[in-house]
Amino acid sequence: MTARPFVWVGCGDRARARIEVYAPAGLAALAAVVYACEAHAPHAAEAVTAAGYAPNRTRAALPTARRCGYVFRFPTAGGAR
């Protein structure tokens, strides 16, 4: 099974939501973390779902200031070549 890259473009506002992106292979495979402002958090989650990943929004305080649309991909995520 090949995971598709997801497309998510935010507005650049201060992020309020942190959404963990889990690979379809299992919940143990954290592939990326997406940041979004409050208004775009649902859209970011939809983009993750549309790409075949499972979004999991967390409410932990953001350690550093991120902007809506910021995506951090873990280098160990499946599909890397």
Query: Which one of 40, 41, 44, 45 is in contact with Zn ion (CB under 5 A)?
Result: 40
Judged by CB under 5 A, the number of residues near Zn ion is 6
Interacting span for Zn ion (CB under 5 A) from 3-11, 21-29, 57-65, 73-81: 3-11
Contact 9, 34 (CB under 8 A): no
Contact 77, 14 (CB under 8 A): no
13: which DSSP letter? S
CB of 81 to Zn ion, least distance (A): 31
Query: Which one of 21, 37, 48, 71 is in contact with Zn ion (CB under 5 A)?
Result: 37
- 26's torsion region: left (phi>0), alpha (psi -120 to 50) or beta? left
Interface ranges with Zn ion (CB under 5 A): 10-11, 13, 37, 40, 68
